[in-house]
Structure 1
Amino acid sequence: MVGTPTYGATRDRVEEYFDRTATRTWERLTSDAPVSGIRQTVREGRDRMREIMLSRLPADLAGRRVLDAGCGTGAMTEELARRGAHVTAIDISPQLVEIARNRMPEHLLGQITFTSGDMLSADLGDFDHVMAMDSMIYYTADDLGQALAGLSRRVSQSIVFTVAPRTPFLMAFFTVGKLFPRSDRSPTMIPHAPRQIAAKAALHGGTGSVSEVERVSRGFYISTCLEYRA
């Protein structure tokens, strides 16, 4: 479990944002309800990213344990359970977890353990795979490296996750965001380069490698899928 001050502070801010400020927004965004043009691009981008991430796992996950780290309203969890996986679905926001539970088809509930809290907690146990879609995008490279190194000791196959790519546009957006008072900002995604994350993971004892899978750029949604394997 990551215990750095930066990780703890960011985790707490993410919890406050999603559990107290943005719950209804995310509930609508991840439903079939009409949304604005900007949010529609985010919805489409996230749908495409979910497909890419799922393509890294076997079609048949029967008997495998998968951690959906940052499950949100449960779209990834549902697809994993449909493939036969035993899923631990965790999110920092209890309200989002409750939405995910309520949306889940009843016949899949027996394969899923829903919980809220720290997605990196060792108390969650060991897994074959970890899926972390847009739940690590707010953390520093050092925190990500420590997270991957720690998770890799409990994961037998792969960790598939997303980060904001280190593009000129996103770097400018990140820099401008620092100019605003922290109280006026939602959690800000931090752009990363895969080699930087790999180097930090190695620094913290990780023995795996980081590879870039695919980038999705759809309007206001820009994210890169990465895979960490021992």
Structure 2
Amino acid sequence: MSYDRTLASVETYFDKTATRTWERLTSDAPVSKIRETVRRGRDAMRAQMLSRLPDDLRGARILDAGCGAGQMTAELAARGADVVAVDISPSLVSIAQRRLPVDLAHRVDFRAGDMLCDTHGRFDHVIAMDSLIYYGREDLARALGQLSARTAGRVVFTVAPRTPLLMMMWRAGQLFPRSDRSPTMVPHAPASLQKALANTARLTPLGRITSGFYISQAMEVTA
């Protein structure tokens, strides 16, 4: 699908179908054993991505691209960053706003909409955790190019890694109607993505997190 169609699918899923599930998963509420592995994996990935940025972010303007329920947003703000937290789902943005500690509220500008919109301005760094995983290679490369062009430092993001198991699951998923299930993740390999980026940005693969049903690869691009 095109970027716009995928974006609409993601919005429908997270803003209407899966809001309550996502709210529970990103809290400390009891969840199933399967979702517990996903929660642990996401916690580990968030820590890895944050490790790519300075501990002291005072004076830095950071884009949390696809902020979801706001866990990354809160940690960035706690380090002193001025955070623009954007998500395509107004419902998730509302959850993130409610959860943000009051003493950090002055550091965060929450916005519902497309994380690529150029009206968000320029940034010192960008974090995009699991928010670009639904896009094909060309759309992903275009998104990363747009973000890196407006970023002085790092754009740290995640993809579904192109492993034999994930490719098998991805191909099988194409055989069934999506109905109200999550939009399909598109696996990527670093070499292929770098080729699509061409000379617009330099790609560096980071660590991979595997925790039950959560399998994600961190990468970063710099202009």
TM-score calculated relative to the size of structure 2: 0.98
- 2:112 corresponds in structure 1 to 116
Q: SS of the counterpart of 1:187? A: coil
Instruction: Establish whether residue 214 from structure 1 lines up as the match of residue 182 from structure 2.
Output: no
Q: SS of the counterpart of 1:76? A: helix
Amino acid at match of 1:45: G
Q: SS of the counterpart of 1:183? A: coil
Pick the aligned partner of 1:199 from 187, 195, 200. Answer: 195
- 2:160 corresponds in structure 1 to 164
Query: Retained in 1: the 8 A contact 2:61–2:123?
Result: yes
Q: SS of the counterpart of 2:185? A: coil
Instruction: Establish whether residue 56 from structure 1 lines up as the match of residue 49 from structure 2.
Output: no
Instruction: Establish whether residue 142 from structure 1 lines up as the match of residue 142 from structure 2.
Output: no
- 1:177 corresponds in structure 2 to 173
**CA-atom RMSD, angstroms?**
1.0
Instruction: Establish whether residue 228 from structure 1 lines up as the match of residue 221 from structure 2.
Output: yes
The structure-2 alpha-carbon separation of the partners of 1:169 and 1:201, relative to structure 1 and needing over 3 Å to count, comes to same
Q: SS of the counterpart of 1:78? A: helix
Q: SS of the counterpart of 2:62? A: strand
Deviation per residue, 1:99-134 (Å, 9 max, x gap): 000000001000000010000000100000000000
* Structure-1 separation of matches of 2:24 and 2:141: 33
Amino acid at match of 2:193: I
- 2:26 corresponds in structure 1 to 30
Deviation per residue, 1:141-169 (Å, 9 max, x gap): 10011111111110000100000000011
Using the TM superposition, give the Cα deviation of residue 194 of structure 1 relative to its aligned residue in structure 2, in angstroms: 1.1
Using the TM superposition, give the Cα deviation of residue 195 of structure 1 relative to its aligned residue in structure 2, in angstroms: 1.5
Aligned length: 223
Query: Retained in 2: the 8 A contact 1:145–1:199?
Result: no
Instruction: Establish whether residue 9 from structure 1 lines up as the match of residue 5 from structure 2.
Output: yes
Using the TM superposition, give the Cα deviation of residue 75 of structure 1 relative to its aligned residue in structure 2, in angstroms: 0.3
Instruction: Establish whether residue 129 from structure 1 lines up as the match of residue 122 from structure 2.
Output: no
For structure 1, the residue ranges without an aligned partner over 5 or more in a row are none
Using the TM superposition, give the Cα deviation of residue 185 of structure 1 relative to its aligned residue in structure 2, in angstroms: 4.0
* Structure-2 separation of matches of 1:172 and 1:184: 21
Q: SS of the counterpart of 1:147? A: helix
Equivalences for 1:35-46 in 2 at 5 Å? 35-46=31-42
Using the TM superposition, give the Cα deviation of residue 70 of structure 1 relative to its aligned residue in structure 2, in angstroms: 0.5
* Structure-2 separation of matches of 1:43 and 1:23: 16
- 2:148 corresponds in structure 1 to 152
